[in-house]
Amino acid sequence: MQVVILAAGKGTRMGALTEEIPKPLLRVGEDTLLEQKFSILPEGTEEVIVTIGYLGERIREHLGSAYRGVPIRYIEDPERSGTAGTLWKARNALHGAFVVLAADDLYQKRDIDALARHEHAVLGKHVAQITPGDYLDHDDAHTVTDVLSHTEYEAQAHTRRLPINTSAFKLTPRIFEFPLVEYKPGEYGLPHTLIAAVKRGELSLRVHATEAWHQVNTPEQLAEAERLYAQFST
């Protein structure tokens, strides 16, 4: 199995913290955010593909051609074309089932192992309060039926909690047959592209729910990640 780590973003909300350091190389605990992904790789990972953009050479220099015994290949996305746009640039390097992870969020290994057992799946977290993000509507069999923005989710006044997308996926190369969905000029969203395929009846996407995921977009979230790091380190 291969794992794709999306690390091309600029991390503008981090302010001065990312002026000279790419966000995936910010430290929490004993590791960088990016290194934490190597501690939670699913069983049987044969290669990691890291997509790079902003200050990508710093990431190459830090990790090298292998890390913790796992070979690394780099795919450049200087345009930072969104999660789907970046992943599509890596499609020729993918030869079978693969897991996608965001470089700068914290996940638990048990969730990634469970995610990897599905053919096509997304990791979703149940959150106590509705915050900005993509919410995964699903049926009783936990098959995704739609993706809602936080404003759409609030407006529909759901009587049940919907998990928020964590940007962790288990996929196969079949997804590259689907047309990309642009969600803002020049940026193509992976959840948007997959949900469009779901609605066309071309894809069945399971949601695996967790209570353990921490998004890191701001200095405050980075400080909280430091406090929470121990529970994500294994």
Q: Domain of 99: which CATH number?
A: 3.90.550.10
Residue of 48, 55, 51 whose CA lies nearest to 20: 55
pTM summary value? 0.93
Provide mean pLDDT across the span 186-193.
Answer: 93
Query: For residue 183, what are the contacts with CB-CB under 8 A and spacing of at least 6?
Result: 82, 189, 192
Domain limits at 212?
2-232
Poorest-confidence range of 95-99, 140-144, 167-171, 200-204?
A: 140-144
Number of domains forming the structure of the chain: 1
The predicted structure's pLDDT at residue 193: 96
Measured distance CA(67)–CA(50) in Å, rounded: 12
Residue 171 structure tokens? 């996929």
- Mean pLDDT over each residue of the chain, to the nearest integer: 92
- 234 pLDDT above the threshold of 70: no
The predicted structure's pLDDT at residue 233: 65
Residue 83 structure tokens? 């999660």
The predicted structure's pLDDT at residue 151: 86
Query: Where does the pLDDT of residue 100 fall: very low under 50, low under 70, confident under 90, or very high at 90 and above?
Result: very high
Query: Where does the pLDDT of residue 228 fall: very low under 50, low under 70, confident under 90, or very high at 90 and above?
Result: confident
Measured distance CA(193)–CA(82) in Å, rounded: 11
Question: Residue with structure tokens 């995921």?
Answer: 213
